[in-house]
Structure 1
Amino acid sequence: MAGCLYFTCHRPTYSGPLSLLLKASPLIDELALYDVVNTPGVAADLSHISSVAKITGYLPKDDGLKHALTGADIVVIPAGIPRKPGMTRDDLFKINAGIVKTLVEGIAQFAPKAFTLVISNPVNSTVPIAAEVLKAAGVFDPKRLFGVTTLDVVRAETFTQEYSGKKNASEATIPVIGGHSGETIVPLFSKVSPNFQIPTERYEDLVKRVQFGGDEVVQAKDGAGSATLSMAFAGFRFAEAVLKASQGVKGVVEPTFVYLPGVPGGDTIAKATGVDFFSTPIELGPNGAEKAINILDGVTPREQELLNACIKGLEGNIKKGIEFAQNPPK
């Protein structure tokens, strides 16, 4: 079995349901929660669940981060704050980027061999931040750093279920590549498996729905929240995939945002796109990202247009993350 560390966050978000899913998983024998408040209480609540995982909750005092991280095989980072009234997106980026930077510095020191799964938005920038921090510490292994883009895949599966005909929507394979925000999200409906057709008159709406599905939830909640339960499910699904592959299960493939030059097969994709960070189907194994699968060949002209817009957006997002890591605000 694999140990698992989970960073929660002090806000009503997907951290609660995600910790519940992780506690219930038979693949996890230890689960440590870390946050600036509330974690001992959350851990006590979850400890009453009759599952395999032993659970602990830590606060910053008394070397809590060190104790939470030491011995972790996998670290899941959904930490961050929501955007507040009067706060610019740049303000939000600086706060969340700073949180991720601090947590990854802890990983570099106390759990350098752990699989690190970054959910904290904006993933297109926070994963490059994490990579730079790990590089600076001399412990960067690109095969063990992942940006979690699974929610985009889950939405694509769900929104096209009427066409795939699958009772369980997840049985259809729908590659979603690129990044994890707006136009950087590119569903490749031409490469679904088993093959099915999207009606021409529905295509653009479905693409937009996958790219901006989060807006639906925000609107349905009247601005009082965003996607939490679906994000928890997606985060758990990817964490479970990494754990299964690490324990020897073969044929585990999931799209995820990785540093392409450090993953076998990634160089070809990096040359084709011109970016070093990109979400693409990854074959997972005991050492993490075993192989980056190139599915760019044979995309349709419309998908190529979507890819062009994606790459333009990614270039700026990646640069912003790297610059933040190298020159953090004082």
Structure 2
Amino acid sequence: MKVAVLGASGGIGQPLSLLCKASPLIDELSLYDVVNTPGVATDLSHISTPAIVKGYLPAGDGMKDAFTGVDVFIIPAGIPRKPGMTRDDLFKINAGIVRDLVKGVAEYAPKAYVLVISNPVNSTVPIAAEVLKGAGVFDPKKLFGVTTLDIVRAETFVASLSGEKDPSKATIPVIGGHSGETIVPLFSQASPKVDIPADKLDALVNRVQFGGDEVVKAKDGAGSATLSMAYAGFRFAEKIIKAAKGEKGIVEPTFVYLPGVPGGEAIQKETSLEFFSVPVELGTSGAEKAINVVSSANEYEKKLLQAAYTGLKGNIEKGIEFIKNPPTK
């Protein structure tokens, strides 16, 4: 299994690459970024685990050499959020970065799984889809927006209320998108069942939706959620790799193109959106089944979903528009 991390020298890319190097599931690790990748790769190559690590820069045939033969791309490339900056403020810069990287994926490894972390995910995943469509190699079952950090936060914050020592024992569907009010935790469908006091529910939902702001503030403007995002990105990548290797029964929420995933059309009909994050059953072909948890949302969650639909519609359109009518500057 050959995995590439695109944006490997950055705040998310370095810890994500470390987690990949430590994984027994990965045989080769290809690191790509505009600066410092040979150094990051050399540093990681001294770790006594099986994965062979190589680092590439764009010069020469860097992209071609880094991308050829890759099975799974993980893309955290982009600039980080700064204080007062919304995920949407990042749009123009990160949109261009994702577009150019996915063009490389389409050219050099068109059958690979593509895991997009670069924000704003609600727009960068539609951008990736449009680029792959344009190249005639779009497989909706193999394109994923990584929303796992929202799930990881929901698990952690619920555990702090319930007293559960191992937060990861909970399964909490977090659906919709990956910014602010487009993030909708379905606590009513948590397993095992969680009892959240009514007076704490609004604050808990808000914390899951805006947990990133908590990190930006605590880092005093010097960074955003990099370590937790690297963990979440690796957790999702590991599930993709296990499913690709034939492990059954792996389900994880992820932001996908609904019309191209079995079960997705019913969710598209209900949400009126082409892209949406729902629990997805993963398998050897990628996204094998989208699970409709939308229809089971309670009244409180349905109100949250209405706000999510509105936000997502604009985000998705913005991504598609970026490719169809590129900005002149």
Q: Common fold, TM-score beyond 0.5?
A: yes
Report the counterpart of residue 97 of structure 1 in structure 2.
Answer: 95
**Aligned residues of 2:82 and 2:223 also touching (Cα < 8 A):** no
Q: CA deviation at 1:228?
A: 1.1
For residues 87 and 146 of structure 1, what CA distance do their matches in structure 2 show?
24
Calculate the TM-score normalised by the size of structure 1: 0.96
- Which residue of structure 2 aligns with residue 201 of structure 1? 199
Partner amino acid for 1:3? K
Q: How does 1:13-162 map to 2 (within 5 A)?
A: 13-83=11-81, 92-162=90-160
Distance between the aligned counterparts of 2:308 and 2:86, measured in 1?
23
Q: Give the distance between the partners of 1:69 and 1:203, measured in 2 at CA.
A: 45
- Aligned partners of 2:276, 2:86: CA distance in 1, in Å? 26
Name the Cα RMSD after superposition.
1.6
Tell me by how many angstroms 1:87 deviates. Answer: 8.4
Quote how far apart the aligned CAs of 1:88 are. Answer: 9.0
- TM-score when normalising by structure 2: 0.96
Q: Does the aligned pair in 2 maintain the 1:164–1:172 contact within 8 Å?
A: no
1:280·1:292 contact (CA, 8 Å) conserved in 2?
A: yes
Which amino acid is 2:6 matched to? F
Q: Secondary structure at the match of 1:61?
A: coil
Q: Which amino acid aligns with 1:6?
A: V
- Counterpart Cα distance in 2 of 1:43 and 1:261: 38
Query: Where do 5+ consecutive residues of structure 2 fail to align?
Result: none
Partner of 2:53, secondary structure, is strand
2:295 match: secondary structure = coil
What is the alpha-carbon distance in structure 1 between the residues aligned to residue 86 and residue 209 of structure 2? 22
Q: State the distance in 2 between where 1:88 and 1:117 align.
A: 22
Corresponding residue of 2:3: 4
Deviation at 1:220, TM superposition (A): 1.2
Q: 2:259 maps to what in 1?
A: 261
Count of matched residue pairs? 328
Distance 1:234 1:172, change over 3 A: same
Q: CA offsets, 1:160-202, max 9 Å, x none?
A: 0145553221111000000000000000010000112111111
Alpha carbons 1:161, 1:169 under 8 Å: kept: yes
The residue type equivalent to 2:74 in the other structure is V
Where does residue 185 of structure 2 map in the other structure?
187
Q: Is the 8 A contact 1:163 1:197 kept in 2?
A: no
| Whole-Å separation in 2 of the counterparts to 1:296 and 1:76 | 28
Q: Do 1:9 and 1:80's aligned partners in 2 also have CA atoms closer than 8 Å?
A: no
CA distance in 2, matches of 1:255, 1:320: 23
2:5–2:31 contact (8 Å) kept in structure 1: yes
The amino acid that maps onto 1:304 is: K
Counterpart of 1:276? Answer: 274
Cα distance in 1 for partners of 2:256, 2:88 equals 24
Residues 32/177 of structure 1: CA separation in 2 closer, same or farther (3 Å cut): same
Any stretches of 5+ residues in structure 1 without a counterpart?
none
